[in-house]
Every structure is written in C-alpha cells, then in structure tokens.
Amino acid sequence: MPKFAANLTMLFNELPFMERFAAAKAAGFEAVEYLFPYPFEKDALVQALKSNGLTQVLHNLPAGNWDAGERGIACHPDRVEEFRAGVDQAIAYATALGCRQVNCLAGKVPAGVSPAQAQATFVANLKYAAEKLQAARIKLLIEPINSYDIPGFFLNTTAQAVAVLDAVGSDNLYIQYDIYHAQRMEGELAATVQKHLARIAHVQLADNPGRNEPGTGEINYPFLFRHLDAIGYTGWIGCEYKPRTTTSDGLGWIKALTR
C-alpha cells in the first residue's frame, strides 16, 4: 500500500498555510511536504507537525526569488555563495523539523550561460551540498521538471538526472521522481522507475493533462501503485497536484485507486 504525503503548497490551499497541517491530518494523511519552510518560524512549524502527529518528509533548498519567477539557482554560475548559504539554511530547518530529505531545484539556465557552464556549476554545487547534508544525515535530491511548465529549466529527464548523479559521484545524492513531470517529458514510467529504483529516494504525483488528482487524466495510477509495491519502493509519495475543486472533495481517489 503506498504511503501518501500531502503537499501543503498545493493541497488545502483554500486555507491559510499554518491551518493546512490540521486539515491534512483530518483527511487521513500521516506526512506532509511543501516547497519552502523559510517564510515561517521553525518553532511554529515544529509545533504544527507535533500537535497533528505528522512527519515532514521533504522540502526544497532555497530557490532564489520564487515570486519573481526564479525556480532555483543551482545552475547559476554567479550565485554560488548564495547557494551555499541556502544549504546552511536548509540544514537548520530540516534538522529542526526532523526532515530527512531536501530537494535541490536546478533552476532555469540564465541568459548568456552555456549548457556546459550550467552543468559544471550544478555539479559543483551538488558536490558541496551533498557532503554538507550527509554530515547532517539528510539526503539530497534533484528533480527533473518538464520543459512545458517551466521553459528553460536545466534538468528535464531521468537520464539527465542519472548523468548528473554519476558526475557528482556522491552516495548522498538521489532522484526525486515526479510522475507528472516524467509523463510529460518521457513516458515509460514503470520501466524507468524500476530501472533506477536504487537511485530514487522520493516520488511525487499528479495526473496529466491538467496536473489534477490521480484518476482525472491519462496516467494509469492503479497499475503504477501496484508496480511500485511490486518492485519494492518503500518511500513516501508526495501528492503535489492541483485539486479540481477543494482538496477534501477530491480525495476519494486514494481509496478508489489503491484497492
């Protein structure tokens, strides 16, 4: 049976953020993830987790100016010091929250930066971050994101992510496999997850098209859930989708698709 974590950036977003923890627990979730903890005080987040009996399974490294359209800075050659400061900030939050995984968004390739420069910067930053996070007993993840939703994003496919892992050469660097992004970029979901299972530390989901609840689009989620169980995936599956109406009204997919 899959273990689902509520992505509080996307789910229950009709509520103020700090109220979403209780809503997730009331809906039956045992774990949560979200993009960024940094706008909130660590103590407040810790209390929200503890009072609702929730586990925090993932958040991202600082990713630049999100509101201005930045989607990570790990491939930006001129922002290495900012990236490194973000690693320290992520460790402080993850340690306080008991979060054992942190995702690094590669970012969009800046104007005037060649693919080779972006790759070299990304690899060097990941080597630094993987070592620092390993010392704190936190896994570092990277996530391929489809080029339709975020044009210009540096990391787009599983094969590219595997090549980055090989180039970094750390045993503390893994793939965050987002089924929605993978479907849009490459398909071959079941075979790809099985081939690279040892290098996948976290899975996320949404259906396609629309990035809505599982069961609303073309992805055969009942098959994929059975397949993940069969190949031995034991990690969390983050529910990072856009509810068609309210989150609670759309949660029937869990029982319907995991029988």
Q: Is the pLDDT of residue 257 over 90?
A: no
What's the token pair of residue 158?
Answer: 């599983």
**Spacing of C-alpha 13 from chain mean position:** 18
Mean local confidence (pLDDT), 43-70: 98
CA–CA distance, 143 with 20 (Å, rounded to integer) = 24
What pLDDT sits at residue 1? 76
At 49, the amino acid letter reads: L
Q: Which of 203, 220, 206 is nearest to 250 (CA)?
A: 206
Q: Tell me, what's the pLDDT at 226?
A: 96
List phi, psi (to 5°) of 212: -100, -165
pTM: 0.97
Query: Is the pLDDT score of 3 beyond 80?
Result: yes
Active site residues: 143, 240
Tell me: pLDDT of 259 over 80.
no
Q: What is the pLDDT of residues 104-120, one digit of tens each?
A: 999 999 999 999 999 99
pLDDT band at 258 (very low <50, low <70, confident <90, very high): confident
Give the pLDDT confidence score for residue 134 in this predicted structure. Answer: 98
For the chain, the domain total comes to 1
Q: What is the pLDDT of residues 126-164, one digit of tens each?
A: 999 999 999 999 999 999 999 999 999 999 999 999 999
Q: What is the domain extent for residue 90? A: 3-257
Tell me the CATH number at 34: 3.20.20.150
Q: Do 104 and 140 meet the contact criterion of CB atoms below 8 Å apart?
A: yes
Nearest to 205 by CA among 249, 152, 165, 258: 258
Chain mean pLDDT for the chain? 97
- Count of CB atoms situated within 10 Å of the CB of 3: 15
